[in-house]
Amino acid sequence: MAPRQRKANWVNSQQKKKPEASLIDQLSEPLKDFVNDFKEHGKSVLEQVRSRNPEKYLELSTKLAGLVAMIKPKPSDMSKARTHEEIAIATLKEVDCEDPTPEMIAEATQANKNFVARLEAIRDDAIMAAAVEPEGELN
């Protein structure tokens, strides 16, 4: 019986498949091209659509408005909150409580104060642990 021969591996590093680009990467160039084309011709094309087919213009306007709303989300009320009460109201709105009662606001204020106190305790524990740890010792 003849010894088995090994199959030659003819694939070198240049012949290996390149990793497939992500969907975002695949779409980014055509989208960039579209955006550039729209910048250059969009206004005149929309004017033509509006004059020739007002219904289609309205449909496109609605779709574009929805797209813009998705791309540019509304700012959170949290960024404007300065007092404990404003933070409580903004936090409640974040969980879809649009019309909180004074009692809800008071409870949310206390919950936020408890949360902050716990975060401060975590920080303090870490500072104390670092102060007690002997020098030169690695975790």
Question: pLDDT tens, 23-82?
Answer: 777 778 888 888 889 899 989 988 999 999 999 988 888 888 888 777 776 667 788 888
Confidence of residue 137 (pLDDT cuts 50, 70, 90): low
User: Is the same domain home to 43 and 79?
Assistant: no
pLDDT score for 21: 77
User: Is the same domain home to 103 and 85?
Assistant: yes
Residue 126 is assigned to a structural domain of this protein? yes
Is residue 100 within 8 A of residue 89, CB to CB? The reply is: yes
User: Is the same domain home to 69 and 80?
Assistant: no
Confidence of residue 89 (pLDDT cuts 50, 70, 90): very high
Q: Is 74 helix (H, G, I), strand (E, B) or coil?
A: coil
Query: Nearest-5° angle of CA 74, CA 76, CA 81?
Result: 145
Mean pLDDT, rounded, for 100-112:
95
| Structural domain boundaries, residue 80 | 75-133
Confidence of residue 135 (pLDDT cuts 50, 70, 90): low
The Cα–Cα gap between 63 and 50 comes to: 15
User: Is the same domain home to 68 and 79?
Assistant: no
User: Is the same domain home to 125 and 80?
Assistant: yes
- The residue among 73, 92, 109 that closes a domain is 73
CA dihedral 38, 62, 74, 106 (to 10 degrees): -170
Residue 97 is assigned to a structural domain of this protein? yes
Phi, psi of 17 (to 5 degrees): -65, 140
Tokens of 70: 């998705």
Residue 139 is assigned to a structural domain of this protein? no
The Cα–Cα gap between 61 and 59 comes to: 5
Count up the domains in the chain and report the number: 2
Residue 59 is assigned to a structural domain of this protein? yes
User: Is the same domain home to 58 and 102?
Assistant: no
